[in-house]
Amino acid sequence: MLSLGSLTFLTPAVLLALAVLPVVWLLLRLTPPALRRLDFPAARLLFDLPPTERTSARTPPWLVALRIGLLALALIGLADPVLTANHDDSTAPLVVVLDNSWAAAAQWDSRMQSTRDLLERAERHGRLAALITTTPAAIAAPPPRLLPAREVLAQAAAIRPLPWTTDRGAAAERLQALNLGGRGEAIWITDGVAGAGDDRLIALLEQLTPRTVIAPNKGDAALVLDPPQRSADPDGNGRISLGLRRIAPGDVAPNAFAVRAIDKEGHVLARTTVAMDRDVHGGTAMMDAPPELSNRIVRFDVEDHASAGATVLADTRWQRRPVGIASTNANGISAPLLEDAFYIRQALAPYANVREGDLDTLLSRPLAVLFMASGGRVLDTETERLTRWVQDGGILVRFAGPNLNGNVDPLLPVHLRTGGRSFGGALSWNEPAHLAPFPDTSPFKNMALPPDVTIATQVLAEPTPDLPTKTWAKLTDGTPLITAERRGQGWVILFHVTATPEWSNLPLTGLFVDLLRRMVDISAGVTAMNETGATADLLPPLQLLDGFGHLTAPGGSARPVSMSDLTGNIVGPDMPAGLYGPANDTVALNLSPSLEKAAPIAAWPSGARHITLDNVARERAFKPYFLAAALLLLLIDLAISFLMRGLSPTTMRRAATGVSSAAVLLAIGLWSSDGRAAETKPAAPIDSATSAAILDTRLGYIVTGDNTIDHVAAAGLSALTHILAARTSAEMAQPAPIDLNTLNLSADELSPYPLIYWRVSAAQMPPTPKTAAAISTYLHRGGLIVFDAPEQAGAMGGHGAGARLEAILHTIDLPPLVMMRSNHVLTRSFYLLKGLPGRFTDSTIYVDRGTSTTDGVSSVIVGGNDWAAAWARDANDLPLYAAVPGGESQRELAYRAGVNMVMYALTGNYKSDQVHLPAIMQRLTQ
Amino acid sequence: MVRASIRDTSHRLRTIADIAAARLPPLLVAARRIAASVTLGSHGRRRAGPGETFWQFRPYSRDDTPQSIDWRQTGKFDVTFVREREWVAAQTVALWCDLSPSMNYHSSRNLPTKAERATILALALAELLVDGGERIIHLSADGRPSRAASGRVAVARMADDLSTTIAHTGTAGTPAPLQFITPLPRHSTIVLISDFLSPLEEIAAHIGALGKHGGAGHLLQVMDPAEESLPFRGRVRFVGLEQEGAAVVERTEDARSTYIARLARHRDGVRQIAEQAGWTFAVHHTDRSPQTALVALHQAMTSYRR
C-alpha cells in the first residue's frame, strides 16, 4: 500500500511498470508508421530510389505522447487509487459494535456499507479488528477474537439483522472477553433502541479511545407496528386500526409512513398513511376493511421500512368466519335484552361475520358456525340437513332452554337427563354454582376464569364414560357446563345454560365473548385438535420472520412451542416471531407486542464522536475513471491509426456526416417526441372554406375530378339551395365543393356540412384510408352523405360508377345497408313522398340501418336516381337535363325529394311520428 | 456439348453487348457535346474542288457549265462569276486509345479516370473528323485496325468497340499484347492517346511500327494530376497497375523531387521519340477541360496538313 496524501494505491506494485514507460517511448518513436498500400500507375518511376532517401518516417511526437499517456492512465488505474477522506495511521485494534436487531433492519445496507468501509480501512492499515454484534443469535456465536481485518470482513458479510431485541449486556461480556486493556478504537453502529445492559456496554466502550457512535439518520427512526384492532365505524363497516410508534429521541423530523395490509399473494389490500409531526412518536393507522377483504389479510407492514418490528402477521384466527344465529323465536315479540340471539350477536359482531335468519336462509350460504340460540329441538325435517353440514365441518352451538328437555333430537353432544336443575333459587338449599377451571382437554384451557360467573339453572348430562372427554367447561361440582362432540369434520357443542341471562350471568361476562370467539376460531381448521378434542401440546414453526420482516422457512434452530408460550408474547432467539401451527390453523407470534416498552437510548458513551450513517466518510475509488479515460484514449488512438493507415479522409468525412446527421435526427426525434411540446402547439388555423362553412350553413358536394359531374353537382345543389330557401326555413349559403384529395382532410373539415352530396364517377379512386377514416368519423358524428351513382338502374353492383360506389362504401365504416322502405322518415321529413325520384325513378334506394349513437338516423343515402341532374339549372334558370319519364312533374318531385333529404339531415328523426300519421288520424276521427 | 458452349458464348457476348450498349450513349453524348463546343473552320485543301464550302468567285470561262454561274454575284457586276467550292479530300485518320489497366486510375473521386477521359477525347476527335468528312480507322486495344469508314456510323461503331474493350478489361484477365503490325492505308494520320508510362523502348517500337507507313502522327499523353505531382505523404507501398511490381517508399515527400525529375525525363524521352518520327506530342491532365485538349489536338492535325 502506498499513500500520497489522501490518495492511496491499493495495488502499488503495478506502479513499478511505470518505469518501463521511457523504453516504450523509445520503441514507439522508432517504430515506423504502418505501410500504406497505394495503387499507382507510375510506380515504375519510383523503383530503385537512391538509398539516401530511405529515411524512415517517425511516429509523430504527439501520437507517442498520447500512447504513453494511455499506458500511464491504465497502469495508474490498475494500481487501485483510492481517495480516503480521513487517513489515520493508528495501529490500535478496531472494535466495531454492530447492533443487528429488528430496529437495524431498515437501514441495513448503509450499516453494512459503513462496517465494510471501516474494516477495509483497518485492513489497509494492517490493524487487528473485532466485530461484536449486540443481538443474541439463535446459535451462540464463538467468542470474538482480535483478527486481521480481512478475516473480520468475511465475518461481517454473514451478519444479518435478527428479529428480536438486543442484549447489550451479553455484548459487553463479549467485549470484556477481548481483553483489550483499554487499547483500541471503538465504533458503535447503533440502532438507537435501548435494550438490556446498555449501561454495561457503554461503560466498557468508555474505556476505549477514540470512540465513535454511528447513529441512524434523522427521520430514519425504528418503527413499531402494533397488532391490529378491529372496530366498526358508526355505519357498521369493518375497520382496522393499528398503532404505529417510532422509537426516536425527542426531536425527530416529521415524516409520513404508509401502512399496508397485504394478502397471501402479496397484493396490497389497503394502504393508509400515518403522518407524524416533529416530536410526535406515535400515530394510528385506520383502514376501512370490509369483512370479505379483511379476511384475506395475512400481514400488515410499513411501506419501505423492512423490519420485523414494523411487520404484523395475521393468522387464521384473524380471518373472520361467517357465523349464523338461527332464531326460532316465532312469537314475534321483540324484546332486545330478552331476545335469545341478542347476547350472541353482541359478543361476535366485532369479530365475525354474523348473519341471522331461519335455518334455510343461513345454510343456503357457506357457514362456519351455527348458533341455535333458543333451546329447542331441531325439527326432524332439518335434522338430516344439519347433520350433513356438521359432518362437513360445521360447528353447531346449541343452548339449553326450557324446551330442551331430555334427548329431543340426535344433534346433541351428550345424553341429557329429563328435567333441569336449579341452584340458589328461593326454594333451594344450594348457592348458585361457579365455574371450575377448564379441563386440559378443553380448547379454553388457557383462558382466565372470572370469579363472578354464577350459574343458576342448567340441564344435566347422563353420566357416561366419555362424558369427561366431551366436557369443555364444568362447574365446581363437576357437572358439565359446555359439552362438545366431534361429528365427522365438525362439532356439536351444547351450552347447558341459555344464551340469555335467565339461567346464568355467563352471557353478561367477557368470558362469554372469549368462549364464543374461540369456538369460531376452531371452526376453520381443527387440525390442532386431536380426536379426543384436546389441544395439541406443541405447535411447530411454519414460517418465521427474519429481521427484515420477510417470512422464511424455519431454520434448524427453530423448535415447536406450546400455545401458552405463544400467548406470553415473549419473542427471542428461542421463539422467533412468525407463524406456528399447521398451515390451515396458524397462530401468529408477532414481535411488536413485546416491544411495548421500547425506547430510544438515553445515554451515550461520554466523549464519543457522534455521526449519522449518511455522514460516514466514504472512500472514493478512482480505478474505473482512470480505466475509462485510458479506454477513451485508446479509441482516439484507433481513429488516428485508421486515418494514418489511409482510411480515406472522404470515408471518414462521410462517417462523420453520418454520425452527425444521425445525431441531428435523434435530436429532432427527441424534440418531436416531447409530448408536451406537441400538446401546447396552438390548433392549426381553420382554412377559409371550412370557416365559411361554419359561419353559414351550406350543403357540400364531393369533387370527383370530372368537370361535367362536378358542374352538375354544383348546379344541382345550388338550385336545391334556392328551392329550400323559397319553400322552407332552411336558408343556406351557396354549396361548397369538398376535395377529398386535400392533404390532412379530417372529420373536422367535413363536420360543418349537414349534408354532403357525392355523385360517384367511375373514374374516381376510392378514398385513401385516412380520408375514409375522416368520412367514417363524419358519419358517426351525425353527418349525412348522399351517394348518387347514376349510370344504371341498380345503384349497387354492375360496373362503372356502381362498382366504384361499392368500392368506396367498402372503405367506410357503416352500419349495414338496407333497402329504404316506403315509410322511411326520408319520405316524411317535409313532403309526403312515395319515393325519392331524381332524373330517373327506377333506382332502388338504400339507407343504413342507423345506430344508437345517431338515434337511428341513417347516415347515408345510396341511390342512382341522379338527383343533382334533375335539380340542376343553368344561368338562365332552365333545366340542364330532362327528367325521364315523368318530365317536369317528376322534376318537381325530385326537388321535393331533395328538400326531404336536407330536412332529414337537419332534423333527424323529428318527423318519424309522421310515419304513424294514418294510425293517428284514424284514432282522432274515431 | 459444343452446342452448349456456343450458346454460352453467345450469351456472354450478348451480356457484354448489353453492357456496351448501356455505356454507349453516355460516351457518345459526352463526346458529341465536346465536339459540338469545338467550332473550327473546315480544314479543306485550300484549293477549289468538289466540296461543300465556298472557296472563291472567279470569272466565267468557256469550260464552265452554265449551271455553275452564281447569278447573285453576277448581278452585282458586269462580269459573269462562277462560284467555286473548296476541294475537300477525305483524309484517313487512325485513332488509338490506350485502355490498359494503368489508364484505369484516378486520384480523386471527383476526377474521371484516365481511360474515361481518353475515350471521350478519342470519340470527340472522331466526331469532329467525321463531321469534317474524314474517314477514321479505329485501332483496337491490341493494335488491329478496323476498316476505314466515315459518317456517324463509324463513330458509333468505334464507341461500340471501345465500350466492349472497357467491358473486357473489366472482366477478362490479361489483355492481348499491343502490336501494330497490320499495315494502315498510306499517308493516314495516326493519333495515339495514352499515358505513355510504359518503358521508352516499347513506345519507340510502337511508334516505329506505325511510322513506317509514312503517315503523320500525334501523341496525346493523358495524365492524372497526382501522377504529375506525387502528392502523397508518409510510408507508402506503390503498386503498379500492370503487374510491373511495387516500390516501398519510406518518405514519399522526400522522394517527390526525384519522381518529378524522373517523370520529366521520361516525358522528354517520349517527346524525342515523337519528334524523331516527325510526330507531335501534347500533354493533357484529367483535371483540365477536355475541350482545350481537343482543340489543341485538332489544330495540330490541321496545321500539319496546311
CA distance A561 to A542: 11
CA distance A86 to A885: 110
Q: Which residue has the cell 357437572?
A: A479
CB-based contact, B224 to chain A, within 8 Å: yes
Given pLDDT bands bounded at 50, 70 and 90, which one contains residue A662? Answer: low
One-letter amino acid at A489 equals Q
pLDDT value of residue B267:
93
pLDDT value of residue A613:
80
Mutate to test the interface with B, among A45, A52, A645 (most CBs of B within 10 A): A45
Q: Do A55 and B244 touch (CB under 8 A)?
A: no
CB-based contact, B200 to chain A, within 8 Å: no
pLDDT value of residue A678:
41
Q: Which residue has the cell 494514418?
A: A644
Instruction: Indicate if the pLDDT at residue A530 is higher than 60.
Output: no
User: A829: closest CA among A922, A905, A886, A888?
Assistant: A905
pLDDT value of residue A669:
54
Q: Do B235 and A35 touch (CB under 8 A)?
A: yes
Q: Do B263 and A45 touch (CB under 8 A)?
A: yes
| Residue of A687 and A861 predicted with greater confidence | A861
Instruction: Indicate if the pLDDT at residue B268 is higher than 90.
Output: yes
**Which H/E stretch holds residue A454?**
strand A454-455
How far is CA A168 from each of CA A204, A411, B137, rounded to the nearest angstrom?
Answer: 11, 59, 115
Q: What DSSP string runs through chain B?
A: -HHHHHHHHHHHHHHHHHHHHHHHHHHHHHHHHHHHH--------SSBSS-SSEEEEEE--TTS-GGGB-HHHHHHSSS-EEEEEB--PPPEEEEEE--SGGGS--SSTTSPPHHHHHHHHHHHHHHHHHHTT-EEEEE-TTS-B---B-SHHHHHHHHHHHHHHHHHHHHSSSPPPP---SPPPTT-EEEEEE---S-HHHHHHHHHHHHTT---EEEEEEE-HHHHH----SSEEEE-SSS--EEEES-HHHHHHHHHHHHHHHHHHHHHHHHHTT-EEEEEETTS-HHHHHHHHHHHHHHHH-
- Distance to chain A for B247, nearest Cα, Å: 5
- Distance to chain A for B16, nearest Cα, Å: 27
Residue B284 forms beta bridges with which residues? B222
Q: Do A36 and B237 touch (CB under 8 A)?
A: yes
> Closest partner residue to A38 among B103, B114, B239, by Cβ?
B239
| Closest-approach residue (CA) in chain A for B196 | A42
- Distance to chain B for A658, nearest Cα, Å: 19
User: B236: closest CA among A43, A639, A64?
Assistant: A43
How many CA atoms are closer than 13 Å to the CA of A495, on its beta-carbon side?
29
- Which cell is A134 given? 449486540
CA distance A677 to A679: 5
Question: What contacts B68, CB < 8 A, 6 or more positions away?
Answer: B82, B83
CB-based contact, B243 to chain A, within 8 Å: no
User: A223: closest CA among A247, A240, A242, A199?
Assistant: A247
- Omega before residue A210 within 30° of 0, cis: yes
Q: Do A43 and B238 touch (CB under 8 A)?
A: yes
How far is CA A378 from each of CA A363, A408, B7, rounded to the nearest angstrom?
Answer: 14, 8, 110
| Residue of A374 and A515 predicted with greater confidence | A515
Q: What is the ipTM of this complex?
A: 0.71
CATH fold label, B2-42+90-305? Rossmann fold (3.40.50)
User: A750: closest CA among A722, A768, A776?
Assistant: A776
Contact in structure between A117 and A619 (CB atoms under 8 Å) = yes
Q: Do B259 and A35 touch (CB under 8 A)?
A: no
CA distance A257 to A192: 19
pLDDT value of residue A628:
92
Which residues does chain B have within 8 Å of residue A31's beta carbon, measured at their own beta carbons?
none
Question: What contacts A169, CB < 8 A, 6 or more positions away?
Answer: A196, A197, A200, A201
> Closest partner residue to A40 among B103, B238, B262, by Cβ?
B238
pLDDT value of residue B30:
66
Mutate to test the interface with B, among A44, A641, A650 (most CBs of B within 10 A): A44
Instruction: Indicate if the pLDDT at residue A810 is higher than 60.
Output: yes
User: What is the strand order of the sheet A268-276 is part of?
Assistant: A268-276, A255-263, A297-302, A311-313
> Closest partner residue to B247 among A33, A43, A644, by Cβ?
A43
Q: Do A44 and B232 touch (CB under 8 A)?
A: no
Torsion of CA A557, A563, A568, A572, to 10 degrees: 10
> Closest partner residue to A41 among B195, B199, B248, by Cβ?
B195
CB-based contact, A877 to chain B, within 8 Å: no
| Closest-approach residue (CA) in chain A for B266 | A45
Question: What contacts A139, CB < 8 A, 6 or more positions away?
Answer: A556, A557
Residue A260 forms beta bridges with which residues? A271, A301
How many CA atoms are closer than 13 Å to the CA of A105, on its beta-carbon side?
28
**pLDDT tens digit string along A259-270?**
988 888 888 888
The answer to which of A514-523, A768-777, B35-44, B175-184 has the lowest mean pLDDT is: B35-44
| Closest-approach residue (CA) in chain A for B238 | A38
> Closest partner residue to A38 among B195, B232, B242, by Cβ?
B232
- Distance to chain A for B227, nearest Cα, Å: 7
CA distance A612 to A393: 57
The answer to which of A216-225, A532-541, B155-164, B267-276 has the lowest mean pLDDT is: A532-541
A208 CA to centre of own chain = 51
One-letter amino acid at A817 equals L
Given pLDDT bands bounded at 50, 70 and 90, which one contains residue B169? Answer: low
CB-based contact, A37 to chain B, within 8 Å: yes
CA distance A434 to A455: 6
| Residue of A91 and A674 predicted with greater confidence | A91
How confident is the prediction for chain A on average, in pLDDT? 79
Q: Which residue has the cell 376535395?
A: A739
Which residues does chain B have within 8 Å of residue A44's beta carbon, measured at their own beta carbons?
197, 199, 240, 244-245
Instruction: Indicate if the pLDDT at residue B238 is higher than 60.
Output: yes
What pTM was computed for the model? 0.43
Contact in structure between A228 and A242 (CB atoms under 8 Å) = yes
> Closest partner residue to B234 among A33, A39, A48, by Cβ?
A33
User: B246: closest CA among B259, B237, B234?
Assistant: B237
| Closest-approach residue (CA) in chain A for B255 | A53
User: What is the strand order of the sheet A7-9 is part of?
Assistant: A2-4, A7-9, A81-83, A620-621
User: A43: closest CA among B40, B240, B230, B3?
Assistant: B240
Which residues does chain A have within 8 Å of residue B246's beta carbon, measured at their own beta carbons?
43
CB-based contact, B241 to chain A, within 8 Å: yes
Rg (chain B; Cα; Å) = 23
Kindly report the length of chain A: 926
How far is CA A190 from each of CA A98, A262, B299, rounded to the nearest angstrom?
Answer: 6, 30, 106
| Closest-approach residue (CA) in chain A for B100 | A41
Instruction: Indicate if the pLDDT at residue A650 is higher than 70.
Output: no
Q: Do A38 and B227 touch (CB under 8 A)?
A: no
| Residue of A691 and A405 predicted with greater confidence | A691
Residue B304 forms beta bridges with which residues? none
Calculate mean pLDDT across residues A194-214. 85
One-letter amino acid at A407 equals N
CB-based contact, B297 to chain A, within 8 Å: no
- Which cell is A689 given? 372554406
Q: Do B263 and A42 touch (CB under 8 A)?
A: yes
Which residues does chain A have within 8 Å of residue B238's beta carbon, measured at their own beta carbons?
38, 40, 43, 46
Which residues does chain A have within 8 Å of residue B249's beta carbon, measured at their own beta carbons?
46, 49
Which residues does chain A have within 8 Å of residue B237's beta carbon, measured at their own beta carbons?
35-38
Alpha helices per DSSP H over A681-763: 688-695, 707-727, 747-750
Interface of B with A in 53-112 (CB under 8 A): 102-103, 105, 109
CA distance A245 to A301: 13
Q: Do B235 and A36 touch (CB under 8 A)?
A: yes
- Omega before residue A885 within 30° of 0, cis: yes
Rg (chain A; Cα; Å) = 47
Q: Do B262 and A36 touch (CB under 8 A)?
A: no
User: A399: closest CA among A329, A478, A448, A449?
Assistant: A329
pLDDT value of residue B265:
92
CA distance A182 to A206: 9
Instruction: Name the burial class of residue A319, with classes exposed (0-12), middle (13-18) and buried (19+) by CB atoms within 10 angstroms of its CB.
Output: middle
How far is CA B191 from each of CA A279, B27, B221, rounded to the nearest angstrom?
Answer: 109, 19, 11
DSSP-derived 3-state class of residue A747: helix
Which residues does chain B have within 8 Å of residue A54's beta carbon, measured at their own beta carbons?
250
CB-based contact, A51 to chain B, within 8 Å: no
- Which cell is A3 given? 499513500
Q: Do A39 and B105 touch (CB under 8 A)?
A: yes
Tell me where in chain B the CATH 3.40.50 domain(s) lie.
2-42+90-305
Mutate to test the interface with A, among B202, B230, B249 (most CBs of A within 10 A): B249
Which residues does chain A have within 8 Å of residue B236's beta carbon, measured at their own beta carbons?
35-38
Q: Do A37 and B236 touch (CB under 8 A)?
A: yes
User: B301: closest CA among B161, B191, B181?
Assistant: B191
CB-based contact, B195 to chain A, within 8 Å: yes
| Extended beta strands in A233-376, E state | 238-247, 255-263, 268-276, 282-288, 297-302, 311-313, 322-326, 353-357, 369-372
- Which cell is B89 given? 479530300
**pLDDT tens digit string along A532-572?**
333 456 788 888 888 888 888 887 677 788 777 776 667 88
**Which H/E stretch holds residue A542?**
strand A541-545
Contact in structure between B120 and B222 (CB atoms under 8 Å) = no
Which of A22-36, A421-435, B59-73 is modeled with the greatest confidence? Answer: B59-73
Contact in structure between B163 and B122 (CB atoms under 8 Å) = no
Contact in structure between A106 and A139 (CB atoms under 8 Å) = no
Calculate mean pLDDT across residues B290-306. 71
User: A104: closest CA among A308, A322, A367, A354?
Assistant: A308
> Closest partner residue to A57 among B199, B235, B266, by Cβ?
B235
CB-based contact, B240 to chain A, within 8 Å: yes
- Distance to chain B for A644, nearest Cα, Å: 9
Q: Do B248 and A35 touch (CB under 8 A)?
A: yes
CB-based contact, A34 to chain B, within 8 Å: yes
